[in-house]
Amino acid sequence: MKIRFLLLNAYAVGGTVRTVVNQANALAEAGHDVEITSVHRHRAAPVLALHGKVRLRALVDDTTANASWPLHRIQAWMAARPSELVPAAEVKYNCFSRLTDRRLVRYLRSLDGGVLITTRPALNLLSARFTPASVIRIGQEHLHYDHHKRTLAEQIGLWYPRLDALTVLTEADRRAYTARLGGDSPRIARIPNPLQDGSPARSALDRPLVLGAGRLVKAKGFDTLIEAFTPIAEAHPDWQLRIYGSGPERDRLRVLIHERHLYNHVYLMGSTPHLEAELAKASVFALASRHEGFGMVLAEAMSHGVPPVSFDCPHGPREIIMDGDGLLISPGDTAALTKAITLLIEHPTTRAKLGEQAATSALRYRPDHIRAQWESLIAELAAQPGRTHARRR
């Protein structure tokens, strides 16, 4: 059975892209027929490595102009007009246009049989509206229901029941979507994101390095993390905080670093496609998010044996960090975050113990384990009475 993933931009670097690539690679490694369709393509090749058997295509190629000038002019006109199909409350609304509307509807209506896994609210809604019933339609949600704006939540309530299944990342999310969608809800399954395939390099936990990673946006709380690190830099001047990621908060964070005279201690490292190599250098991983869809980077750090310190924000960290494999802190408690990081800095034995337990705990997210959950869900949906079994493409 053909398994298709639909992403906004498979050529970018981000949490959703990373986890979808991991899912696709794991399924392809197991012998499944896997394809990723990217709405946009803004560079020649994807940054994240794909399994050799995963096919990649793009609906809108932003890297080249069309050979036919009149056609290019029409497409440019459409690309400059806002989408009429995607709700304006969708976080990435500005990435959609009349051109993507047209290409997406044409693509979705062309499908016949197999599985389509869409990976954000806008794509889930369009799949529910335009994908033929011969296709097993699975929507992925990476955010808690309450994080969606009211107008988007209304569209979710209207269209998600047409999906065959909805996957969420946490048990809290599963309960929330089940309650909000009520009796008309599709099959709702909790399937966490998988780690990257392979054996993660273990950190020696001997470098004076605290690491944070994520998109530089307010929700990720890097301003709070920098604030929490200020007294640490004074007490332990040999320790550094490195933050990996890009985003609109970069300039504000840079100013904050200079205001606190942390320019020799806190570094904004930018994005990297090799985060796993950087995680393997760290001795502590810190997450100060105000809210998380899941917090996959916690599991990634733990897989390298790096003990995590995280705010117990809604909703992912408490389902990733268990007793004895990391430290959970009351949300927004900057002083407690400082104290927890300092504890791991000053007590190498505790650091090593938590790191060992973290690596064992992270095995829950190994690719073969998560792949089996996807295979089970797909088999369950394919076997439902009354499903139209279309031919394999």
Can you say whether residue 216 is alpha, beta or left, with left for phi > 0 and alpha for psi between -120 and 50 degrees? Answer: beta
Residue 135, both tokens: 């296709």
Please tell me whether residue 139 adopts helix, strand or coil conformation: strand
- Angstrom CA distances, 188 to 13, 160, 175, 227, stand at 28, 11, 9, 39
Quick one: pLDDT at residue 197? 81
Q: How far is CA 113 from the centre of its chain?
A: 27
Q: Classify residue 169 by its DSSP letter.
A: S
Q: What's the average model confidence in pLDDT over 39-59?
A: 95
pLDDT recorded at residue 387: 64
SS (H, E, C) 13-50: CCHHHHHHHHHHHHHHHCCCEEEEEEEEECCCCCCCCC
Residue 21 and residue 13: Cα distance in Å, rounded?
Answer: 11
Indicate if the pLDDT at residue 381 is higher than 80: yes
In this predicted model, what pLDDT tens digit does every residue of 81-96 receive, in sequence order?
999 999 999 999 999 9
- For residue range 104-156, what is the model confidence (pLDDT) as tens digits? 999 999 999 999 999 999 999 999 999 999 999 999 998 888 889 999 999 99
* pLDDT at site 391: 37
Burial class (CB in 10 A: 0-12, 13-18, 19+), 150: exposed
Mean pLDDT across the stretch 337-356? 98
Q: Which CATH architecture has domain 209-364?
A: 3-Layer(aba) Sandwich (3.40)
CA angle 47, 50, 56 (to 5 degrees): 90
Cβ pair 135, 115 in contact under 8 A: yes
Supply the pLDDT for residue 136.
Answer: 98
Share of the chain above pLDDT 70, in %: 96
Q: What is the pLDDT of residue 69?
A: 57
The four Cα atoms 146, 10, 299, 207 give a dihedral, to 10 degrees, of -130
Q: What is the pLDDT of residues 257-275, one digit of tens each?
A: 999 999 999 999 999 988 9
**Residue spans of alpha helices (H) in 182-249:** 222-235
- Taking each helix axis as running N to C, give the angle between helix 222-235 and helix 250-259, from 0 to 180 degrees, rounded to the nearest 10: 30
Residue 50 tokens, joined: 């794909």
Q: Decide if 169 contacts 190 (C-beta within 8 A).
A: yes
pTM: 0.85
Say how many C-beta atoms besides its own lie within 10 A of residue 202's C-beta.
14
Are domains 2-194+367-382 and 209-364 of this chain identical in fold? yes
Q: What is the pLDDT of residue 14?
A: 79
Domain 2-194+367-382: state its class: alpha beta
pLDDT band at 189 (very low <50, low <70, confident <90, very high): very high
Predicted confidence at residue 65, as pLDDT, reads 58
pLDDT band at 192 (very low <50, low <70, confident <90, very high): very high
| pLDDT 10s digits, 330-344 | 999 999 999 999 999
For the chain, where are the alpha helices, taking DSSP H only? 15-29, 69-79, 98-110, 121-130, 150-159, 171-181, 222-235, 250-259, 275-279, 296-303, 317-320, 334-346, 348-361, 367-382
Report how far residue 349's alpha carbon sits from residue 172's, in angstroms, rounded to the nearest whole number: 34
Q: Which residues contact 179 (CB under 8 A, 6 or more apart)?
A: none
Whether the per-residue pLDDT at 384 is higher than 60: the answer is: yes
Write the burial class of residue 68 (CB in 10 Å: 0-12 exposed, 13-18 middle, 19+ buried): exposed
**Mean pLDDT over the full length of the chain:** 93
CA distance 344 to 32: 43
Q: What is the dihedral of CA 303, 306, 307, 310, to 10 degrees?
A: -80
Instruction: Map out the domains of the chain as residue ranges.
Output: 2-194+367-382, 209-364
Range scoring the smallest mean pLDDT among 149-153, 162-166, 388-392: 388-392
Specify the residue for token string 């089970």. Answer: 376
Rounded Cα distance, 58 and 74, in Å: 19
pLDDT of 68 higher than 80:
no
With a CB cutoff of 8 Å and minimum separation 6, the contacts of 158 are none
Using an 8 Å Cβ cutoff, are 133 and 113 in contact? no
User: Does the pLDDT value for residue 24 go beyond 80?
Assistant: yes
274 Cβ neighbours under 8 A, 6+ residues apart:
none
